[in-house]
Structure 1
Amino acid sequence: MLSISAACSPAKTDTQVLAQVEANQAVEAADDGRVQCAPGGAEKFARVCEIERAETERGVVLTLRHPDGGFRRMLVTSDGRGVVAADGAEPAAVTLVGTDEIEVAIGDDHYRLPATLKAKK
């Protein structure tokens, strides 16, 4: 089971929060290997996207798989942005949602990811 820890205190700026998130990210799948998402412009978020984590020469790459077989790849950064699109022409827009969650939008696809995850022991 993964445990989620708070990424910041309320006094930190968004950039500080994202930097803290990146520093603490040992990103793996949420408890069931799925995250909240709204792929293809869906109106509501649902816990239907599978998340995979891979260590690469570029860093940690997350692959988020949609129920219809589509997917997006994101590269975890260490410069205050959180994640960026790992491939493709569309950039990732990262927004803080509360103190323990980020929302990532790439094109019409939206994902809610825990700000900090600790790996299973």
Structure 2
Amino acid sequence: MIRSLAALGLVALLAACNRGDPQPQAEPGAKRIECALGPGSTFSPACLVEKTEGEQGPEFVVRHPDGSFRRLRIAPDRSGMMAISGAADAVNELVGNPKVLQVTVGDDRYRFPADLDAGK
């Protein structure tokens, strides 16, 4: 019994150490977009996008409901979005009616409206 409690306490301690600080919420004025996060997920308007100025031009920070985020940039030839950081490349396609840009990075998918790059 004591071993079980000690093991449970150790697991809880390790989980707390790995939790890290949650990401701050999006800035006021962030736009809500549809996203499907993880394999087999369906789209919902659960992500927020902020447009910021990066070293190579405008960047978009997509904030997930769990506090994680992904950084993207418009490709130099304006053919779609590209992932700024991370190991996975962004795959772009036009979907729906009216057409929206669907960007897939790893197991996550995002749908960006045509006017996302307009203004700040």
> Aligning the two structures, in what range does the TM-score lie when normalised by the shorter sequence?
0.5 to 0.7
SS of the residue aligned with 1:90? coil
How far did 1:81 drift? Answer: 2.8
- TM-score, normalization: structure 1? 0.66
**Partners of 1:74 and 1:96 in 2: how far apart?**
17
Mean CA deviation greater in 31-40 or 69-78:
31-40
Q: Choose between structure 1 and 2 for higher RCO, CA contacts under 8 A separated by at least 6 residues.
A: 1
Instruction: Specify whether residues 33 and 80 from structure 1 end up closer, same or farther in structure 2 by C-alpha distance, changes over 3 A only.
Output: closer
Q: Which has the larger radius of gyration?
A: 2
How far did 1:71 drift? Answer: 1.1
Structure 1 stretches lacking a partner, 5+ long: 1-30
Which 4+ residue blocks in structure 1 deviate beyond 6 angstroms?
A: none
**Partners of 1:32 and 1:47 in 2: how far apart?**
13
Q: Tell me the amino acid that sits aligned with residue 70 of structure 1.
A: S
**2:106 matched to which residue of 1?**
107
SS of the residue aligned with 1:115? coil
Give the superposed CA RMSD.
2.2
Among the aligned pairs, what percent are the same residue?
41
How far did 1:49 drift? Answer: 0.2
**Partners of 2:58 and 2:30 in 1: how far apart?**
20
Note the alpha carbon deviations across 1:49-72, whole angstroms, 9 max, x for none. 010111122111101011011111
Note the alpha carbon deviations across 1:40-90, whole angstroms, 9 max, x for none. 225210001010111122111101011011111101123143110011111
**Partners of 1:89 and 1:58 in 2: how far apart?**
19
Trace 1:42-121 onto structure 2 (pairs within 5 A). 42-98=40-96, 99-117=98-116, 118-119=118-119
- 8 Å contact from structure 1 (residues 35, 112) kept in 2: yes
**2:39 matched to which residue of 1?**
41
